[in-house]
Amino acid sequence: MAYKHTNSKGVTYYLNAKKVTLRGGKAQTIYYFSKDERADTGVDLPDDRTVNENPRNGFLTLKRK
- Per-residue model confidence as pLDDT tens digits over 16-32: 999 999 999 999 999 99
Tell me the C-alpha distance between 65 and 50, whole Å. 6
Residue 7 carries which DSSP code? Answer: -
- Count of structural domains within the chain: 1
16 strand-pairing partners? 32, 42
Domain span holding position 48: 4-64
Model confidence at 1, in pLDDT bands (50, 70, 90)? confident
Segment 33-52 shows an average pLDDT of 95
The predicted model scores a pTM of: 0.89
**Phi–psi pair at 8, nearest 5 degrees:** -70, -15
